[in-house]
Structure 1
Amino acid sequence: MQIIISHVNTDFDALASMIAAKKLYPDAQLVLSDKQESRVQRFLNIYRDMFDFIPNARVHWEEVTEMIIVDVASLARIGTLPKDFDASKIKIIVYDHHQPTEKDVQYDEGTVERTGAAVTLLLEEIQQRDLKLSSFEASLFGLGLYTDTGNFTYANTTVRDLQMASYLLETGMSLEMVQRYSEQTLTTEQQELLNELLAHTEIHEVDGLEIAVSTHEMDSFINGLALVTTKVLGVKGTDAAIAVVKMKNTVCVVGRANSERFTLLPLLKKLGGGGHKHAGSATVKKGDKEAILQEITENLDSLLRPAVNASELMTSPVKTITPDTTIEEAGRRMYRYGHSGYPIVENGKLVGLITRRDLDKANHHGLGHAPVKAYMTTNIITIEPTTSLEEIQELVIEHNIGRLPVIADGEIVGIVTRSNIIEVLYSDVAKEKKSQTNVSAKQLAKKMSQQLPEDICKLLVTIGEAASEMKTPVYLIGGIVRDILLGKPNNDIDIVAEGNGIQLAKRMQELQGGEVLEHENFGTATWTTPSGLSIDMTSSRLEYYEQPAALPQVETSKLGDDLLRRDFTINAMAIRLNEEAFGELIDPFGGQHDLQQQKIKILHNISFIEDPTRIFRAVRFEERFGFSMDGHTEKLALESIDKMIYLTPHRIIEEMKRLFTEGRPQKVVRRLFELHVWQQFGIHEKQLKPTVDAADRLHMLHSESAQDEPNWFEYFLLPFYYNQSLYAAEKFSLTKSRRQLLEEVQELDVEEKWKEAKTPGDFHRLVSDYSDSAILFMLAVDAISSHTTALDYLEQRRHIQHFLTGADLVKLGLKPGPAFSNILRHLAIEQLDGKVTSKAQAEQWLEAYVCKQS
């Protein structure tokens, strides 16, 4: 049996060296120490399933014939070995880059040479053997290299380390992953500087983006201002951070940004510095810190990109109709898809436009059966994808038209409406160019291999190959596409086929086994792989709503329609899986751009009317990602919120549960007031502040009483309480536990006497039958003076010792009955007030109590 092992407190170089050794010795078993460096623990929390580790304690040492030791050469540092372990009886292979010592094990094979990282030694051998690396492996090996060489700044760094970094970059190493997991800790001096910068930070908002400008002055030089500035960016949560620090007679300026809308270079070049668009610095010797600070704050707008053109404004793809489509059918389609006008296309060419106003006039005269060509506008003004926003505005004003088709190579590729223009003008985007960077198929395929488990990546490739054989376009779709672009974990796989999704699922079953559950009416199937992974496979379809808040009607259609039925642009993207186009991003509504802009946008104007639960989902995504609804989307949410009354209590409560469970309750409460959600329950705006304050207290009281987080339903009840309408929450109490909490809160609210309790015993006498949650809720909403005593009571009650039982009472000749509970309750009161502290005292108290009662 071969094993691969490294030192305890495993760092990235040790982990990377183990995985590299596995490439060289594929039959060996990886043995992981039970202690890892914190950064490695964070990494393994995400990627542990990609490795086949066993813990040191589970090694059958009597079966070990060969030991490959990496990043260490001393047996004393690899963890606990059996007392009878004899290294001379097995083959030892060592790969280590440390200075040899007398305590090192005698090894049979391997390499012990001074390099910056042990993984360099193994990578050199992997390169010589021409072994293939995945992008994920290259990134992990890069983590070993970068962390053990201090990003190639440590004195032990060698040319060989840099050569291996170049090799890894060529094989797909993700520098983003390396940066994410190799984050360094601060020295004491750097931490002190960070504290000063955080205390002297001013947040500037420019075109909807936040820039943190921090300043400090010190008498000495310290290294690491770039790292400290990065920490400021993370702590403040802004889109960019600029630190201006005077060290002796030199002013050091460092900038960091995490938004594609930024480029720091123009500002830094003004100061004589440089760098990259998201990271750069400048050094001004004998500079005036205040003058430099003023110059920076006055030129923050130079960090943003200008200009917007039609390709960035337009809605695409465009739904069209033919000249022979009837007025009645055109009206149905406008309702179904939420359009207010339709381009009319014949033989691929745009021949006319028809608006809802045109349709209304024709219907008024009973001409619903007539073709649209009789009423369409043929004098059409069009624009090109490169037409600027200013030119578009002039055309709209000059000709008083509400929509401009966008034509490229003789075909309609998009349409710009007044809504598109207003959205840009009033969301302060007109001053900058939308920085949508179209990720290439190759780049996206690489991101997928880096983020998704290897078995899932292989499965997606296989699905694409099978679909290509069936001549069926197939796509990965939904939230997983969004999260791949965001670099967030998500293994919830949804597959859409522009064809028969059920047939594709059956084909995968033929190829790989597993089970298929068909849903013929919806054109969907669930394929459960042999490993137990469930994958939904659907035929692309569109859906429309017969009335607000109703369940949708579904019909098969093209991918574009399938994307159009999604809730928001960031969820309306797809990744092509067919082998001839694997990794191609389908993004007809600009979801990638909205991800970069951190915006939540609906796809069409009646989206919230059709399904008001999307308003809740919008708030949830705001909380989850730190995004915000764009102005147009929020406006439509406010206009549509009254449709919430059509939702069942079950649907409302399910959305509320997700909101309060996933988000920060105080922010959720506030946001729902802003969107007039609570107002639909008859709750008034004036209850915002007390509700938010109580939400803060509720969280604090649960923490102080060593309770779990408050149940989400407690937060939900707060606005109803302050509006004196707890009764209105009864229809949402759909479970026994929720009904109990509501009933207890209502009873405690009416009963004022318990608030006057002075001792834990007093509290027990009055509220012993009430749950901790109900009591904490009332403490949060009624800040009574004795809340500390109440918390002490709850803590003591949870740990109270039961000195006597019913059997003890029977021994005294008492007959079992309701009186038993009363006696034990009085005893608990004595215990809580500290008058009875032992079983003997309890027995004495019981005798006295019985005598007194008799």
Structure 2
Amino acid sequence: MNQTADKDGLTVVSTHINADFDAIASVLAAQKLYPGSIVVLPGSSEKNLRNFFINSMAYLFNMSDIGQIDGPKVSRLVLVDTSQKDRIGKAADLLANPGLEVHVYDHHPAADGDVTADLRVYEATGATVSILAKMLQEQNIPISPDEATVMCLGIYEDTGSFTFTSTTPKDFSAAAFFLEKGASINTIANIVSREMTPEQVGILNNMINNSRTHKINGMDVTLASIYTEEYVPDFAFLVHKMQKMKGINVLFALAQMGNKVYIVGRSKADEVDAGQILNPFGGGGHPFAASASIKHMALPQVEQELLAILRMQVRKTTLAREIMSTPVVAATPDISCRAAGELLTRYNINALLVTEKPEAKGRLLGFITRQVIEKILYHKLEEAPVSEYMNTDLSLAGPDDELADIQRKIIENSQRLLPVVENGAVIGVITRTDLLNTLVYQREAGNQRQPAPTQIQAHPKTRDIKRMMNERLTPPVLDILKNAGNTAAELEYSAYVVGGFVRDLFLSRSTEDVDIVIEGDGIAFAREFAGRMKARVHYYKKFGTAVITFADGSKIDVASARLEYYQFPAALPTVEMSSIKLDLFRRDFTINTLAVCLNPDKFGLLVDFFSAQRDIKEKTIRVLHSLSFVEDPTRIFRAVRFEQRFGFTIGKMTEGLIKNAVKMEFFRRLSGHRVFGELRQILEEDDPVPAIERLAEFNLLVSLHEALKIDKKTVAALHATREVVSWYDLLFVDKPYMKWMVYLMVLMRGMAQQTTEDLCDRLELPPRHREMADAGRREADTFLHWIQRNPGIKNSELYQRLFGFRVEQMLYVMSVTDSDTVKKHISRYILTLQHVAPLIKGKDLNEIGIAPGPLYSEILRKILYARLDEKVRTREDELEFAMRYANDPDGWWKRR
């Protein structure tokens, strides 16, 4: 092995991104083994590590930036403490050099994604530098006391001062060698046992408060999660600190920093291989310590995937409940073979269970396979019930059956699927594919198979909030919730009040939107509950939802717990029965995923699967998974609406996903009706202007239509609209109006007629709304131009011009004009003039001898104009006016 510098090229020594002390120590040792080599550190290293080396030890390294090296001249790349291509930053570009020689020194086991090496030196030591120490010793390479200190520090840090179970005798021997060479124990002790800063204490406290311990296959595994907009350089140190302080055997800490999620794993248990568990995330490490970073995924999504991987990998005995698929797809015996075939195709399964009742709730009767269905369809028997052809001879499994029993039952009976039954009900199925994948997974290291979302078990944070509910809810609302819980319990269902209602409860905001989710048949519950409450019910069988309307007009929405899947981006969801956790996982943002149980035995128990309480406290809007806006782009409108309504902030990753959705033009696939519905809700907010500006900031408005451009003049007009609308609302006028239309007309001001029509087409406005936005707006603009030229008009002229105008048109004019005179004219009409009417009626005209006829309406109209202009004031004035006008309508009126 030639470790001298190449005559014909450069040797570069590098390590992994976010290098720790062991990585830096190994780089220094490798530099000694390869004289003349250049050290390149990819990315940032730990903050304390940077300060230490920059301030005191930088002179030891022949260091350079990757950008300053002539890449094509590099003929040898030496990697230490990593073998992973995706963990060495821009140094990976050197791997493309023709004839490049790659040497690797690492204490991490080989894994997928390792670079192809010409020389690979691997030993199972606690620190990589321990491997290199032996080589330095064997080759009698001199090292200074400062160099020995740095190298020894790497051993102390990566073995936890020789306390980690990964520590080997070779680590002790290497440390002794470095001590003989003058390593300073005082320097090492000061760095390894350093005090934490106040900022670090705060982050550590958040980690502890946001930690949960899961019992996974008999093993306690703690997960801690935090959000921070800035990168935390000492995260691995804080994870180690938390593990030591709390006495945790297995700890995985997750931190969303900007648009990345970082995971650091620490394990003292042989059953939990941290490196293997983080391998599917592109991470690396060894069984006792590992890390990974994931781009463009939301923290709840990463946490769910990590839990899924843990449940697959942390195992002593594989049980049926751990590998079964659920919810179960089942049919009743009377279903036609054609319909059964459609179910098999829809769910992409090869066998269908047949049960007494829908949704696998009744006794199991048998099953029917795809092959049998295909033969039945071939023989044109598609309308025959499946009961005539189903297989009734099948083995069953219990939820605690072990893998060996499952394998025996499936193989011995040549059974395509094995139902898992508990208390007479089918709770899941195990297919031959499930069994095969499990067996392969247990035999192949590095297999990245994860269970389906339906296999994810629930481990929510819980909290009793009965007291909060009693303090913040009105007695009528509390009675409805309690009665709903009682009804659900009698039907053997579980009932939860969910979403915005619970969110607003925590924010001390009143809300009229009560959403109840039923783990069971939501429509059956709604019918029973409405009957008890003497209320009306309307249900929608396709979606499993219902609306209950009470005698006072108040309403509650009821839904069956469901899992939605989208057939393509921006599609409406397809709805299936599921559990409360999966129902909440389909929702838009974490702050809307809180649920409160209503059943009598658990009334007031809050369940929080996705750290919604934390996000409410931190005032942050976050999606639950990275495809949220792909599946439903209208969620972007809601993100902006919630952000501005509550004074929250859209998280950095969520903001990035919004920009990507706009860039990918997902909104063009949405129907105009859905876009209009979301835009209308924003325009109906108390103050929609900040939300409109935010939409413009995301280029969302112009993505809907290029004419929806916002400039300073438009923003000023929108703020003026806010003032005008608030003024009108304070009048407490009974006449209803469309506030959102006023804002929309302001946004559309100045648009040509064809552009207006195009925008109305895009938003699919109903005819009456289209008429107002187009012709109504142009009529209002015409009035504005006229009144600006005639500021001294009489009241009767103003009345004639505005009579028949809609409230929206008048408020629009007040919003877009800069003239106080114009605003006063319109406000005078709204407050006074439109309510003026003659004191006399037609019968009065008859009594003074004026013959009935068309003249009556003309006289009363002229009297109204005279009263508006204060030419008549009393009843007698009006009667005199009427008599004279009747005798000489033209001459007298003109002289008047």
Highest CA radius of gyration, 1 or 2? 2
